[in-house]
Amino acid sequence: MEDGAVSIAGLVFGVAASTNDSRIVLLAGATGAAAGAVSMMAGTYLDVTSTRDRANALIARARARLPLDPAAHERRISMRLEAAGFTPDEAATVTAALARNPDAMLAYVAAFELGIGRGEPDSAVVHALWMFAADLAAAATPVIPFAIFPIEPARVISLVLTATLLTALGVARARIAHRSVLRMTVQTLAIAGVAAVVGVLIGRLVTG
């Protein structure tokens, strides 16, 4: 959402600074918002599918290699467990239990050596659709005022709505990351401010 709001805000404010026709701003903003949302959706789909395919390939390779030298894997597991605080006897017990259960051994290797979880695979389609909806909703925020109001009030309303959305996103980021609300909010607004200034400068340069 932050990406959609920031990128389209920069586009909208740049175009709005170079024209007095709200239809031009609306056309540029709506086109950019739709194209950006589709791009983010496609990127998310490819990212999830690529990550899943890579994980499946690594797990298949580990499944094929485990029977070739089980002793080496068992030694490595024992060393890792002892490094984590297990006593040698405890590490040996756990390692022996894993060795008796090939699926458990594979799950251990996947999780702790390959860094791959063994839960249900993520749905690439669901992730992509959520990304599309979130990006489009955020990107539409700076655009909608130009579809409703004349150019002058639309500029102000767009700025206020975009700042409000970014403030809410900054607060949400802070809550999720357990960071300073003020710092995250200022950071989010600063990034958007830079994008808006760049957009305005380019708009001024293009129109002379």
pLDDT in tens, 95-113: 899 888 988 888 888 888 8
Give the per-residue pLDDT at 200.
78
Q: What predicted TM-score, i.e. pTM, was given to this entire model? A: 0.74
CA 175 to each of CA 134, 161, 184: distance values in angstroms, whole numbers, following the listed order: 18, 21, 9
Instruction: Classify residue 44: in a domain, yes or no.
Output: no
Q: Could you read off the pLDDT of 15-69 as tens digits, one per residue?
A: 888 888 889 999 999 999 999 999 999 999 999 899 888 888 988 898 888 888 8
Instruction: Classify residue 119: in a domain, yes or no.
Output: no
Same domain, 108 and 146: no
Does residue 91 contact residue 82 with C-beta atoms inside 8 Å? yes
Give the per-residue pLDDT at 73.
83
Instruction: Classify residue 45: in a domain, yes or no.
Output: no
Q: Could you read off the pLDDT of 135-168 as tens digits, one per residue?
A: 999 999 999 999 999 999 998 999 899 989 989 9
Alpha carbons 61 and 184: distance in angstroms, whole number: 42
C-alpha of 110 from chain center: 24
If one compares 59 and 208, the residue with the highest pLDDT of the two is: 59
Determine the structural domain holding residue 94 and report its residue range: 50-113
Instruction: Classify residue 63: in a domain, yes or no.
Output: yes
Q: Token pair of 154, please?
A: 């639309």
Q: Name the percent of the chain in helix, strand, coil, to the closest 5.
A: 85, 0, 15
Instruction: Classify residue 175: in a domain, yes or no.
Output: yes
